[in-house]
């Protein structure tokens, strides 16, 4: 249940990131088309850069397909462009939490599998010991 709530929260944050970045990206493109000369001066004085829309969309796709390793890398790239992006920061910590949950679940499953394997081996060994003992008894006669 907690996993579903975490996932919904991740999707909501991803959607917010796209919605916030999309209008800024479009306004920047319009500004670039109208004032190419002024843009050179603005770009050096204004360090407020935004992550590319394609990066945001790829990030959302990775999150929606539950590819949290890729989503984490893409989120790191977004934070390179926008280090103060509060949604990306929050998303990054949630992705790390999801990866940790995945890792612990995988480890638990591996432990269960190894316990089943070892219990199967010990049963096999005990039956082998019994068959060896019975064959030894037959030889003694």
Asked whether the CA dihedral 105, 106, 107, 108 is positive or negative, the reply is: positive
The domain of 97 spans: 2-124
With respect to residue 129, please indicate whether it lies within any of the assigned structural domains.
Answer: no
Q: For residues 22 and 24, what is the distance between their CA atoms, to the nearest angstrom?
A: 5
Of the pLDDT bands very low, low, confident and very high (cuts 50, 70, 90), residue 113 is confident
With respect to residue 86, please indicate whether it lies within any of the assigned structural domains.
Answer: yes
Give the range among 23-32, 43-52, 132-141 with minimum mean pLDDT. Answer: 23-32
With respect to residue 138, please indicate whether it lies within any of the assigned structural domains.
Answer: no
For the beta carbon of residue 11, count every other beta carbon within 10 angstroms: 13
Prediction pTM value: 0.53
Q: For residues 94 and 75, what is the distance between their CA atoms, to the nearest angstrom?
A: 11
With respect to residue 133, please indicate whether it lies within any of the assigned structural domains.
Answer: no
With respect to residue 48, please indicate whether it lies within any of the assigned structural domains.
Answer: yes
Give the range among 3-12, 29-38, 70-79, 93-102 with minimum mean pLDDT. Answer: 29-38
With respect to residue 12, please indicate whether it lies within any of the assigned structural domains.
Answer: yes
With respect to residue 79, please indicate whether it lies within any of the assigned structural domains.
Answer: yes
Amino acid 131: pLDDT: 54
Q: Which residue has the higher pLDDT, 61 or 29?
A: 61
With respect to residue 99, please indicate whether it lies within any of the assigned structural domains.
Answer: yes
Number of separate domains in the chain: 1
């Amino acid at each position: 249940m907690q996993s579903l709530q975490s996932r919904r929260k991740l999707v909501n944050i991803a959607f917010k990131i796209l919605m916030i970045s999309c209008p800024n990206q479009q306004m920047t493109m319009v500004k670039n088309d109208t004032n190419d000369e002024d843009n050179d001066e603005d770009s050096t004085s204004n360090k407020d850069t935004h992550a590319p829309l394609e990066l945001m969309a790829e990030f959302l796709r990775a999150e929606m397909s539950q590819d949290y390793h890729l989503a984490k890398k893409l989120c790191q790239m977004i934070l390179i462009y926008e280090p103060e992006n509060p949604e990306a920061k929050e998303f990054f910590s949630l992705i790390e939490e999801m990866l940790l949950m995945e890792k612990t679940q995988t480890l638990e499953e591996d432990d269960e599998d190894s316990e089943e394997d070892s219990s199967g081996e010990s049963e096999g060994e005990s039956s082998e010991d019994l068959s060896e003992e019975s064959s030894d008894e037959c030889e003694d006669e």
